[in-house]
Amino acid sequence: MSSTDLHMVVPAGGSGTRLWPLSRAANPKFLHALTGTDRSLLQATFDRLAPLCTPERLLVVTGTAHATSVIRQLPELPERNILVEPFARDSCAAIALAAAVIERRSPGAVMASFAADHLITNTPAFAETVRHAVEGAAEGRLMTIGITPTRPETGYGYLQLSKPAEAGTVQTVLEFKEKPSHEVATRYVESGHYLWNASMFLWRTDVFLAELAARRPDVHDPIRRIAAAWDGDEQEAVLAQEWPTIPKVAVEYAVMEPAAAEGKVGTVPGDFGWHDIGDFETLGELLGKEIEGGARVVHVTPDTPPVVVIDGDGVLAVPCGPRVIATLGVADLIVVDTADAVLVCHRDRAQDIKKLTEILRERGHAAHV
Amino acid sequence: MSSTDLHMVVPAGGSGTRLWPLSRAANPKFLHALTGTDRSLLQATFDRLAPLCTPERLLVVTGTAHATSVIRQLPELPERNILVEPFARDSCAAIALAAAVIERRSPGAVMASFAADHLITNTPAFAETVRHAVEGAAEGRLMTIGITPTRPETGYGYLQLSKPAEAGTVQTVLEFKEKPSHEVATRYVESGHYLWNASMFLWRTDVFLAELAARRPDVHDPIRRIAAAWDGDEQEAVLAQEWPTIPKVAVEYAVMEPAAAEGKVGTVPGDFGWHDIGDFETLGELLGKEIEGGARVVHVTPDTPPVVVIDGDGVLAVPCGPRVIATLGVADLIVVDTADAVLVCHRDRAQDIKKLTEILRERGHAAHV
């Protein structure tokens, strides 16, 4: 494999409702500087991937609502490498569109797809793992990178291996497992046969598209017609005709799970400080700085507005505006202040924040979600 | 007594730190619509008093910081009836200035002074009580209106009577009592011999100024020189020279307590739905509206921004801006959202909010206080 054959894809979608009101439908978490630097998660993903392939071979797939922000945040990215979906059709459509466009531009290329909103702290180890996975992909396997689990997490899916995970080697994935109970997750982690599914996929575009054609022609055929028209005069017309017909389905469900059952899916275990900043607990653990009163603060903007906490063990404050946040005699709370919403949430209830956003929508306040 | 001899005075000062961040040094509570209508506490005080004396006989004493707001909120008030102090010198200076100016304009008039930030729900009963107290004042007594206590409140001072309080009669005040312990307050209330001191004073201006001259010439003499120059070309020069020399002292301490010891102070018990909206607990009790999740909300602006509470027994939300307030799984909290500060406070700690404002000042954020 020469490096010129490797293309990178970043699906940039999803609103991150468990991070409301910081993350919004109109301003999702991948656009925020949740990285400990002034770079957004999307920009940090770009910084990590571009050196592995050059910006000319890096594609971002995003929605109409975020295209402008993506374009502004990534000035180095060629315009033709931003694929804008008319509206979301789940991960299979997004990834298949990228695969079909790449296949047209560079037949038989290897593509690697990574989420826009994950944080990775050990970039050299990540690059090394990608190299191993690219080798497996070049040989014709549908590859994934599985994350070595560090705790019995119930918020992720798992990859089941035939033998204990071994770093730097391509191993066969027996099965994709849904999010488990705590008991099951504990068994998974203790066995050493399971990795976290972080939706990192690597494959030859011709191999993936052949699998998709066989299993899901309802996704494959319109995507191929769209890709054939891409970059041409008919792009918009074909997109308008074909896109609405594509069913909403996750790529795991449409392709990877059935392919794994046939022994076609490989993985390379990864251990490079991977974090899905999916909720405020994780955000606080990763980026929180201790302040007085037993509290922590996460600064997600260049401003550092005053935060004053008196007797606030376990308080996590996330100021996103110029306002003072002051707490007095409250413990184990998450307080998030944004331009148009204030959230006060018990830490034990951080997983239920989505409910609040649903209620706001029901009551006609979708603009705040 | 003809009604033309009665003048009303409203000292409009104090920042209401226990209502931070709603009440501010720059925007104190008397300017806010904490009345259940769109009228501010100051405007509601004006509405209650002006019919008892006409706007030409109603004076407001306020500081330089709030003069503009006071003038804008009370367009009916003649300009010459707004007395602006260069800086605060406590209640004795403010009330003595008003007394001396009234005495110059209408010698021997009766003046009645009422705080700008109290809420009274039964205006006819209030007017009736004032009429009785004015009679006592016209006869030469230093009068106060004492509030019939409804609970053993430890946040107010008390007036001790020689016999059980009797509505509609002038009674002698034996002593002014400081804020008591809960035990002492319970004894006071059970005895029937005590009323709350709500700093409502009524007297002939010549009588009050004579008492002040005898007891506190250090306040009386400069105030008289200032009043002599008031409304004239020398007003500013005399004010600049005399005002800084006036000691800071409360009118209770300077005049009323020693006068009571000499049997010169009378009171009329009042029972007209009086409330000192001094903290968020009181605000919530008086103006809180029940919403879902066991919570209450106080709307203090014409906007009614969305408040969403899930599992929030005893939550009190005070939205003062257009932002959503959302709480999840938190109980017995006060959440106040203003343009430049967010407060999250346990209800048991509402009396300590002043501490937060002190810390903000110490850290150089006085603009937020």
**Cβ atoms of B200 and B120 closer than 8 Å:** no
- Cis amide prior to B244 (ω within 30 degrees): no
Amino acid, res. A274: W
Q: Using an 8 Å CB-CB cutoff, list chain B residues near A311.
A: 349
The reply to whether B21 touches chain A by the CB within 8 Å rule is: yes
Find the CB nearest A324 among B325, B342, B355.
Answer: B342
- A333 and B344 within 8 Å at the Cβ level: the answer is yes
Q: How far apart are CA B13 and CA B66, in angstroms?
A: 8
Q: How far apart are CA A342 and CA A34, in angstroms?
A: 19
- Residue A348: pLDDT above 80? yes
Percent with pLDDT over 90 in chain B: 82
The burial class, CB within 10 Å (0-12 / 13-18 / 19+), for B164 is: exposed
Task: Please report the pLDDT score of residue B236 as a whole number.
Answer: 92
Closest by CA to B319, choosing from B293, B349, B287, is B287
pLDDT band at B24 (very low <50, low <70, confident <90, very high): confident
Q: Using an 8 Å CB-CB cutoff, list chain B residues near A345.
A: 326-330
Q: CA dihedral defined by B95, B96, B101, B105, rounded to 10 degrees? A: 90
**Residues of A numbered 304-323 whose beta carbons fall under 8 angstroms of chain B's beta carbons: which are they?**
306, 308, 310-311, 322-323
What angle do helix axes B90-105 and B217-229 make, rounded to 10 degrees? 40
pLDDT per residue as tens digits for the range B181-229: 999 999 999 999 999 999 999 999 999 999 999 999 999 999 999 999 9
Phi and psi for A11 in degrees, rounded to 5? Answer: -75, 120
- Cis amide prior to A21 (ω within 30 degrees): yes
Q: How far apart are CA B202 and CA B208, in angstroms?
A: 9
pLDDT per residue as tens digits for the range B223-277: 999 999 999 999 999 999 999 999 999 999 999 999 999 999 999 999 999 999 8
DSSP code of residue B282: H
**Superfamily of segment(s) A3-276:** Spore Coat Polysaccharide Biosynthesis Protein SpsA; Chain A (3.90.550.10)
Q: How far apart are CA B70 and CA B52, in angstroms?
A: 20
Neighbours of A334 (CB within 10 A): 25
pLDDT per residue as tens digits for the range B296-308: 999 887 777 889 9
Task: Please report the pLDDT score of residue A293 as a whole number.
Answer: 84
Q: How far apart are CA A111 and CA A109, in angstroms?
A: 6
pLDDT per residue as tens digits for the range A321-341: 889 999 999 999 999 999 999
Cβ neighbors of B320 (< 8 A, separation 6 or more) are B22, B300, B301, B336, B337, B338, B339
In whole numbers, what is the pLDDT of chain A averaged over residues?
A: 93
Task: Please report the pLDDT score of residue B158 as a whole number.
Answer: 97
Decide: helix, strand or coil at residue A143: strand
Task: Please report the pLDDT score of residue B175 as a whole number.
Answer: 97
Q: How many helices (H) and strands (E) does chain A have?
A: 12, 18
Mutate to test the interface with B, among A342, A358, A369 (most CBs of B within 10 A): A342
Task: Please report the pLDDT score of residue B318 as a whole number.
Answer: 95
Provide the β-strand partners of residue A59: A9
Q: How far apart are CA A342 and CA A22, in angstroms?
A: 9
Amino acid, res. A344: V
The reply to whether B343 touches chain A by the CB within 8 Å rule is: yes
Neighbours of A221 (CB within 10 A): 15
DSSP code of residue A63: E
Task: Please report the pLDDT score of residue B1 as a whole number.
Answer: 42
Q: How many helices (H) and strands (E) does chain B have?
A: 12, 18
φ/ψ region of A108 (left if φ > 0, alpha if ψ in -120 to 50, else beta) reads: left
Task: Please report the pLDDT score of residue B2 as a whole number.
Answer: 47
Closest by CA to A155, choosing from A318, A275, A314, is A275
- Residue B150: pLDDT above 60? yes
- B348 and A329 within 8 Å at the Cβ level: the answer is yes
Cβ neighbors of B304 (< 8 A, separation 6 or more) are B319
- A188-205 average pLDDT score: 97
What angle do helix axes B235-242 and B217-229 make, rounded to 10 degrees? 170
- B326 and A360 within 8 Å at the Cβ level: the answer is yes
Cβ neighbors of B314 (< 8 A, separation 6 or more) are B294, B295, B331, B332, B333, B347
**Encoding tokens for residue A284?**
């606080």
pLDDT per residue as tens digits for the range B49-77: 999 999 999 999 999 889 999 999 999 99
- B144-155 average pLDDT score: 94
pLDDT per residue as tens digits for the range A83-128: 999 998 999 999 999 999 999 999 999 999 999 999 999 999 999 9
**Encoding tokens for residue A34?**
């949740």
pLDDT per residue as tens digits for the range B87-133: 989 999 999 999 999 999 999 999 999 999 999 999 999 999 999 99
Chain A closest CA to B27's CA: distance in Å?
17
Task: Please report the pLDDT score of residue A171 as a whole number.
Answer: 96
| Comparison of pLDDT for B313 and B302, the residue scoring more | B313
Closest by CA to B13, choosing from B94, B98, B120, B113, is B94
Task: Please report the pLDDT score of residue B301 as a whole number.
Answer: 78
- B306-316 average pLDDT score: 94
Task: Please report the pLDDT score of residue B290 as a whole number.
Answer: 94
Q: How far apart are CA A236 and CA A239, in angstroms?
A: 5
DSSP code of residue A320: -
- Residue A1: pLDDT above 70? no
**Cβ atoms of B7 and B100 closer than 8 Å:** no
Q: How far apart are CA B201 and CA B260, in angstroms?
A: 13
Mutate to test the interface with B, among A19, A303, A308, A355 (most CBs of B within 10 A): A308
Neighbours of A88 (CB within 10 A): 16
- A294-308 average pLDDT score: 86
Cβ neighbors of B227 (< 8 A, separation 6 or more) are B97, B100, B101, B103, B104
- Annotate B247-269 with b (16+ C-beta within 10 A) or e (fewer): eebebbebbbbbbbeeebbbbbb
The DSSP H or E segment spanning B142 is: strand B142-147
Q: Using an 8 Å CB-CB cutoff, list chain A residues near B323.
A: 338-342
Task: Please report the pLDDT score of residue B10 as a whole number.
Answer: 98
Chain A closest CA to B118's CA: distance in Å?
26
Neighbours of B240 (CB within 10 A): 10
**Cβ atoms of B198 and B146 closer than 8 Å:** yes
**Cβ atoms of B177 and B152 closer than 8 Å:** no
The CATH 3.90.550.10 domain(s) of chain A lie at 3-276
DSSP string, A129-140: HHHHHHHHHHTT
Decide: helix, strand or coil at residue A267: strand
- Residue A2: pLDDT above 50? no
In whole numbers, what is the pLDDT of chain B averaged over residues?
A: 93
Task: Please report the pLDDT score of residue A72 as a whole number.
Answer: 94
- Please, where are the H alpha helices in chain B? 41-53, 67-73, 90-105, 123-138, 182-191, 205-215, 217-229, 235-242, 251, 257-261, 280-287, 353-362
Provide the β-strand partners of residue A82: A60
- Residue A302: pLDDT above 90? no
The burial class, CB within 10 Å (0-12 / 13-18 / 19+), for A36 is: middle
pTM summary value: 0.82
Task: Please report the pLDDT score of residue A118 as a whole number.
Answer: 94
Neighbours of B314 (CB within 10 A): 15
DSSP code of residue B273: -
The reply to whether B340 touches chain A by the CB within 8 Å rule is: yes
The reply to whether B337 touches chain A by the CB within 8 Å rule is: yes
- B359 and A329 within 8 Å at the Cβ level: the answer is no
Cβ neighbors of B88 (< 8 A, separation 6 or more) are B13, B63, B94, B248
The reply to whether A330 touches chain B by the CB within 8 Å rule is: yes
Find the CB nearest A323 among B326, B327, B340.
Answer: B340
Q: How far apart are CA B34 and CA B18, in angstroms?
A: 14
- B334-345 average pLDDT score: 95
What angle do helix axes A90-105 and A205-215 make, rounded to 10 degrees? 130
Q: Which residue has the tokens 């997490």?
A: A153
CA distances (Å), A136 to each of A215, A272, A331, A359, B328, in order? 22, 19, 50, 46, 46
- Residue B40: pLDDT above 90? yes
The reply to whether B303 touches chain A by the CB within 8 Å rule is: no
| Comparison of pLDDT for A52 and B17, the residue scoring more | A52
pLDDT band at A13 (very low <50, low <70, confident <90, very high): confident
Find the CB nearest B368 among A324, A338, A356.
Answer: A324
Q: How far apart are CA B254 and CA A168, in angstroms?
A: 85
Q: Using an 8 Å CB-CB cutoff, list chain A residues near B368.
A: 306, 324
Closest by CA to A57, choosing from A85, A93, A81, is A81
